[in-house]
Amino acid sequence: MLNSPQPIAITSDWKLELSQSVTTIDELLDSLDLDKKALSTSQQAAIDFPLRVPRPFIARMQPNNPNDPLLLQVLPVKAELTIIEGYSQDPLDEATHNPIAGIVHKYANRLLLVISPACAINCRYCFRRHFPYEENRQSKEQWQSALDYIRSDKEINEVIYSGGDPLAANDHFLAWLTEQIANIAHIKRLRIHTRLPVVIPSRIDQTFLSWATATRLKPIVVLHINHSNEIDSDVAASIKRLQDCGIKVLNQSVLLRGINDSADCLAELSEKLFDCDVMPYYLHLLDPVAGASHFDIDENHAKTIYAELQAILPGFLVPKLVREVPHQKSKTTIAP
């Protein structure tokens, strides 16, 4: 049984903070005291995939540092325009696992729902940067066919809210959908894959916690944090609000060139996650999505970093190194 949320004092309103996100290269660089000439930014890249970054995330970037690991995750650069063979629009071939709008069903007993087309932050390395979200935008009526699909497949015991970022959707809709899913007897767990509690910590408010704790489904939140600098006291407080209600919190990261590609950096992240009682879950190799090749770490180099990481962390703080291979029944573990 989950604990009901204790009244909490959050002074900011997440929707307001979301609407105040920075969307231009100039404003982002100005706020960090950076000279545009020192960086190979690209307006074209920002047209292809818009720049979007919430202010609480910018507040954790170091001013005057063109190599800041948080900045590099969101800044549109010229390297994105390079066309490289093997990097495609839909690297995971999700189109073939999109049986009906809103559903990606690849693994037997768990099913992913594309809840929200939007994200609070646009990560340049994102493998869904070309996903046809418009085709997956749905009304409550249209969700009925997704619910029928879940109802008809008794092998499914876990529903994963994904996106985009599922928590970019409003709580009224999420509460409704969760209730519909809870009415399907064979579903045990509800997993929420989100970056919102990290980039706008006030997202975890009373309204969210009310529906997330009221359901019979056991909720798990999987955060997406790549670098220890992403965790400040507001993020830690947001995580604690989840945990105080009995919600398990895990983290997944993507191994990214120039951002977290060293054992020391990854170890520091795991330690900081542990301080927040968050268990590292996955460390993903980059999916070969067009526009993100400059973030890629080849598999052999990744294995070397991983072996170093294993040598400096207890086993339970080492995330699983995985890659998503199209048409496999699960993520593929990369052997050490």
Ligand X SMILES: *Cc1c(COP(=O)(O)O)cnc(C)c1O
Q: Which residues pair with 191 in a beta bridge?
A: 160, 220
Across 108-236, the runs of DSSP E, i.e. the strands, are: 110-116, 158-163, 189-194, 218-224
Q: Which does 112 bind (CB under 5 to 8 A by kind): ligand SF4, ligand X, none?
A: ligand X
Comparing CB distances to ligand SF4, the nearer of 114 and 317 is 114
CA nearest 186: which of 216, 143, 222, 162? 216
Comparing CB distances to ligand SF4, the nearer of 50 and 63 is 50
| Binding track over 126-165 against ligand SF4, x by CB under 6 A | x-x----------------------------------xxx
Residues numbered 203 to 242 that lie near ligand SF4 (CB under 6 A) are 224
Q: Which does 267 bind (CB under 5 to 8 A by kind): ligand X, ligand SF4, none?
A: none
- Cα gap 280→108, rounded to integer Å: 24
- Cα gap 46→58, rounded to integer Å: 17
Q: How far is CA 24 from CA 36, 50, 192, 297, in A?
A: 12, 8, 29, 28
Q: Which does 119 bind (CB under 5 to 8 A by kind): ligand SF4, ligand X, none?
A: ligand SF4
Cβ 155 vs Cβ 187: under 8 Å: no
Tell me if 284 contacts ligand SF4 by CB under 6 A: no
Q: Is the peptide bond before 164 cis (omega within 30 degrees of 0)?
A: yes
User: Out of 32, 119, 181, 187, which residue is the one contacting ligand SF4 (CB under 6 A)?
Assistant: 119
Comparing CB distances to ligand X, the nearer of 71 and 104 is 104
Comparing CB distances to ligand X, the nearer of 124 and 323 is 323
User: Out of 72, 121, 156, 259, which residue is the one contacting ligand SF4 (CB under 6 A)?
Assistant: 121
Residues that bind ligand X (CB under 6 A): 104, 106-107, 110, 112, 160, 324, 330-331
Buried b (16+ CB within 10 A) or exposed e, 8-19: eebeeebeebbe
**Residues contributing to the site for ligand SF4 (CB under 6 A):** 119, 121-123, 126, 128, 163-165, 195, 224
